[in-house]
Structure 1
């Protein structure tokens, strides 16, 4: 059964319904799923997961890779990062999610949105929402992380928001060296500049990354850009 819109659009619709009718989010999600012809959100999410590109994308990643995932707000970049962590955990590798924007409650909500029970991966998944997140902080936290751990950083542009942190280019280089030394996969979620919305391109690309401070984008080994349910993946070298 084909859904009327990508899952992130349906989730946004459920959030609006939840606010408008003062419903718990899980009830709003179930109502949207019923409208789509599914018995509940878990069934809809399972169907979406079976068709999601995260599994294929994960197969393209190797220990030591830095992946940049970019999209405008509301186009599924955070869900993609989480789905990649889930793919890693399905194969027995840890998934670690660092966020300077979301809370742990938000991430639990997003697990629900992709039809995954976080408890299933309780021993493999870690969330860190510390205000101290930076390249040095991440390297210290992951000093003993096993090879193949998938790390999500949400998001790139916030890493150097604090003046006391090194500039963004220094932090990305630090994490690149650390990922290669430890055999980690690091996924950077990234903002896309507003100017993209005035372009005629169906998908953003590396030129559309919002960079308040200079950064050599060749530091990333692979890129993934999302828009309106479409995806473009590319190895940069």
Structure 2
């Protein structure tokens, strides 16, 4: 969609509108975005920035999807997952990011790198860094929500770390049942085995997913793999 002016000019217009109204800057940005034919400023910004791994994934998601997102350390899988949760509003959804790997301060730093100010209410995202995160925990948190959800769980290999939690196959089956019945979307971040680095392949695939405990990966509706800025999106 062609913008009526360069994005820096639209930002300037939003700042002027925020001063004149007066309204919050994020409200002015969203108002400008709607005038340009987008649902929100985040939608406009994503479209104007061109396709990224997160926007590529976003365009392939549909209600009821259970998705695996895998990459080696340092390839940006957590950032992509967090960006997806932040962009949930594009699909008219509430974004949730559950992590067993990061603390609140780490997430705040990642959000800042995405130019997201949660305090300003730019994006409707809920971040949960509880040590109790599991499939049952996620489902219980979302059981009474009225808005459709886009859920990101970070990460697969830690879900059954506690003995009190169900087995990994049982947890993934529970998440699959929940997203199917609630029309939610759930993206589960996964580690990739270090042997991939010696494989010579351009991108990982399901054979490279690190599985300390057995799991049939065909339970996922889609698998997405990142490496060196590229992404593959596959339907098993």
Both proteins in one fold, TM over 0.5: yes
CA–CA distance in structure 2, aligned partners of residues 177 and 47 of structure 1: 32
Q: What are the within-5 Å matches in structure 2 for residues 209-224 of structure 1?
A: 209-224=209-224
Bigger shift: 110-119 or 62-71? 110-119
In structure 2, the CA distance between the partners of 1:146 and 1:60, relative to structure 1 (3 Å rule), is: farther
CA–CA distance in structure 1, aligned partners of residues 208 and 214 of structure 2: 14
Quote the offset at 1:232 in angstroms: 0.7
Q: What are the within-5 Å matches in structure 2 for residues 53-92 of structure 1?
A: 53-92=53-92
CA–CA distance in structure 1, aligned partners of residues 47 and 64 of structure 2: 31
Quote the offset at 1:206 in angstroms: 0.6
Q: Specify the SS of the correspondent of 2:130.
A: coil
1:147 and 1:184 in contact (8 A); partners too: no
Which segments of 5 or more consecutive residues in structure 2 lack a partner in the other structure? 1-44
Which segments of 5 or more consecutive residues in structure 1 lack a partner in the other structure? 1-44
1:146 and 1:182 in contact (8 A); partners too: no
Quote the offset at 1:48 in angstroms: 9.7
CA–CA distance in structure 2, aligned partners of residues 80 and 152 of structure 1: 10
The aligned residue for residue 140 of structure 2 is 140
Q: Specify the SS of the correspondent of 1:189.
A: strand
2:169 and 2:215 in contact (8 A); partners too: yes
Quote the offset at 1:121 in angstroms: 3.9
1:64 and 1:180 in contact (8 A); partners too: yes
CA–CA distance in structure 2, aligned partners of residues 235 and 196 of structure 1: 21
Q: What are the within-5 Å matches in structure 2 for residues 51-130 of structure 1?
A: 51-121=51-121, 124-130=124-130
RMSD of aligned alpha carbons: 2.1
- Tell me how many residue pairs correspond in the alignment: 192
In structure 2, the CA distance between the partners of 1:48 and 1:204, relative to structure 1 (3 Å rule), is: farther
Quote the offset at 1:47 in angstroms: 10
